[in-house]
Amino acid sequence: MPLAPEVAQRARRLAIENAISHDGVPRAGPIVARLLATDATLRAHAEEVRALAETVATEVAALPRAELEPALSALGGAETDRPKEARSAGGEFPDLPGAELGQVVLRMAPFPSGVLHVGHGRMLYVHQHYRERYAGRLLLVFDDTPGSEEKRAETEYFDLILGDCELAGVVPDQVVYKSDRVPQFYPWARRLIDRGAAYVCRCPAELLRQRRTQGVACAERAQSPGEAADEWERMLSGAYAAGGAVLRLKTDLGDPDPAFRDRVLCRISDLDHPRVGHRYRVWPMLEFSWAVDDVELGVTHVLRGKDLVIEDRMQRYIWDVLGVDGPPFLHWGMLRVREAKVSKSKSYREVKSGVYDGWSDPRTWSLRSLDRRGISMEALRAFILSFGMSLADVEVPAETLYAENRKRIDATTVRRAYVPEPVRVDVDGFPDALRSVELPNHPDRSELGHRTVAAGPSFYLPYADLARRPGEEIRLKDLANVRLPATIAPSPSPIRATFTSRENRRLPRLQWVGVEGSVPVDVLGIDGTHALGRGEAALADARPREIFQFERVGFVRVEDRRSTPGEPVRVVYGHP
């Protein structure tokens, strides 16, 4: 079947984009993967797509480097560089193909080596959206096959991830552990062997990589089904050490993507598993386990990131060999929060070493850390769903998430005064009538009431503000005007200022806290640092998890109740 002209045009665009990233030489494999991942109608014509990609890649490779950027621009620019377009198309969720109300079964499959972070939000809320839309079921399938010495499943993370799901409001209908299902994968492996589609390979890893790159078969690939079955039984019986043999799937050694050539189905591991110990030595690779579980668990639709396209291909290849009908795949693009430098491995190291304050440390950007900062899961869900199922890779500022949270808390959050880097300022001539004032709890919400605040003649003011205005007349916000001394330097002694008037004039406004009754406040920042300041007396009665807006600072959430009067009120900074 001849492919539509727009497919050829898109293939050329992808080829040019790929060439720019790979020194002028495009690779056909990623072009094929992108086309098949983003257009389900093309998957039945994979061979034609592959031939087109190879032709276009050859043509683009012949172009001078200087012509690549203009050619890409003429075709609309790089597909992965269009965040504005993706944003404008946000919120769109296509119908699940063939879905019936009450019959949809979805699955999430986290690896239990850490907690869920902001990047997992898309997995959580896209699945929840479709579960609600179709009154379906959602499985949480722990991908707890052995990883590596550096990335291992650990007991604590099973419960922590379940807790994260509860926190997010995405509670699964059923929890499944791959480690409980290991024997179920073996018959599937044997069926592939019996059909001549799999063999046991004992090649050293480096030699195998070299041969796969060259498209050259190893000697074991010629095993008959009977020989492969014998070797498979030897693997199961413990005849081989870890790393001594693997079960491989026979794929096209000339596939444009070398990574898809004869991929591993099962391998041997002697790692101690947190749930089943050493009960099993032969473990399925993740894509093989998905090929089995997505059928046996009755999954009707697989929703995942587009970076897992090669896993799609593996599953479909296995199903085609065995004559099995598997569920369709739907994909989303990468969504990054610019300020969230998420690294699961780094967070793991820092939490285990004590550098981070547990998994709720703000630097992890975990769901727990967002909650600790006062960012609601409702805001995270709205943020995630605003991008729909867009396939474009998008990077957005954290302010986009903060804006969603601000919508939900601004109108009901009371204001409190807080001064960072506090310097005591004694004001000469301060009127007795202003030593106690009534201030609104919210500038626009009278229903939130007022509180009585102790004021002068002594105040705490921010050192940074004072240092910029020696000798100037300033206004203590919502209170009075004073003139600062001509010289302002860090000193344990109070600075002396002079009262000038009560008139509300156009002067620089400084945040203040009256010294009388003020409390020390410890603010944990997003970067993990602590800042000690002074807060108004009303903060002494702050309740755990209560949210305030510190005026001219931002929203904070209270950590816990003070156990002694002199102890700081501990809060976590949320966002501006």
Rg (CA), the chain: 31
Q: Which of 271, 304, 330 is the last residue of a domain?
A: 330
Let me know if residue 393 belongs to a domain.
Answer: no
Let me know if residue 57 belongs to a domain.
Answer: yes
Contact 398, 339 (CB under 8 A): yes
Task: Decide if pLDDT at 81 tops 60.
Answer: no
Let me know if residue 342 belongs to a domain.
Answer: no
CATH number at residue 570: 2.40.240.10
Task: Average the pLDDT over each of 211-215, 532-536, 539-543 and give the range with the smallest value.
Answer: 211-215
In the chain, % of residues over pLDDT 90: 72
Q: What is the mean pLDDT of residues 107-118?
A: 94
Q: What is the mean pLDDT of residues 417-438?
A: 95
Task: Decide if pLDDT at 396 tops 90.
Answer: yes
Task: Decide if pLDDT at 79 tops 80.
Answer: no
Are 315 and 433 members of one domain?
A: no
* pLDDT tens-digit series, residues 46-76: 678 778 888 888 888 888 887 888 888 778 7
Provide the domain count of the chain: 3
The predicted pLDDT at position 493 comes to 84
The predicted pLDDT at position 205 comes to 79
Let me know if residue 429 belongs to a domain.
Answer: yes
Most confident of 60-64, 422-426, 560-564: 422-426
Let me know if residue 361 belongs to a domain.
Answer: no
Task: Average the pLDDT over each of 72-76, 155-159, 218-222 and give the range with the smallest value.
Answer: 72-76
> Among 216, 211, 257, which Cα is nearest to 54's?
257
Q: What is the mean pLDDT of residues 146-169?
A: 88
Are 171 and 303 members of one domain?
A: yes
* pLDDT tens-digit series, residues 353-367: 999 999 999 999 999
Most confident of 151-155, 322-326, 557-561: 322-326
The predicted pLDDT at position 22 comes to 67
Task: Decide if pLDDT at 17 tops 50.
Answer: yes
Q: Average per-residue pLDDT in the chain?
A: 90
Strand bridging mode 335-337 / 329-332: unpaired
Are 291 and 422 members of one domain?
A: no
Are 64 and 113 members of one domain?
A: no
The predicted pLDDT at position 262 comes to 93
Are 162 and 293 members of one domain?
A: yes
Interacting residues of 366 by C-beta distance below 8 A, sequence separation 6+: 115, 116, 117, 118, 164, 347, 359, 360
* pLDDT tens-digit series, residues 485-538: 998 877 778 999 999 999 999 999 999 999 999 999 999 999 999 999 999 999
Are 109 and 214 members of one domain?
A: yes
Burial of 529 (0-12, 13-18, 19+ CB in 10 A): exposed
Q: Which of 330, 360, 382 is the last residue of a domain?
A: 330
Q: What is the mean pLDDT of residues 159-164?
A: 97
pLDDT band (50, 70, 90) for residue 84: very low
pTM above 0.85, yes or no: no
Are 121 and 266 members of one domain?
A: yes
Contact 528, 542 (CB under 8 A): no
Are 36 and 107 members of one domain?
A: no
CATH number at residue 316: 3.40.50.620
Are 104 and 31 members of one domain?
A: no
Domain extent at residue 51: 5-79
Are 194 and 58 members of one domain?
A: no
Question: What's the 3-state SS for 498-539?
Answer: EEEECCCCCCCEECCEECCCCEEEEEECCCCCEEEEEECHHH
Q: Which of 266, 298, 330 is the last residue of a domain?
A: 330
Let me know if residue 386 belongs to a domain.
Answer: no
The predicted pLDDT at position 127 comes to 97
Are 261 and 178 members of one domain?
A: yes
Are 11 and 152 members of one domain?
A: no
Task: Decide if pLDDT at 251 tops 50.
Answer: yes
> Among 263, 258, 251, which Cα is nearest to 213's?
258
CA angle (561, 563, 568) in 5-degree steps: 70
Let me know if residue 94 belongs to a domain.
Answer: no
Widest CA span in the chain: 101
Let me know if residue 377 belongs to a domain.
Answer: no
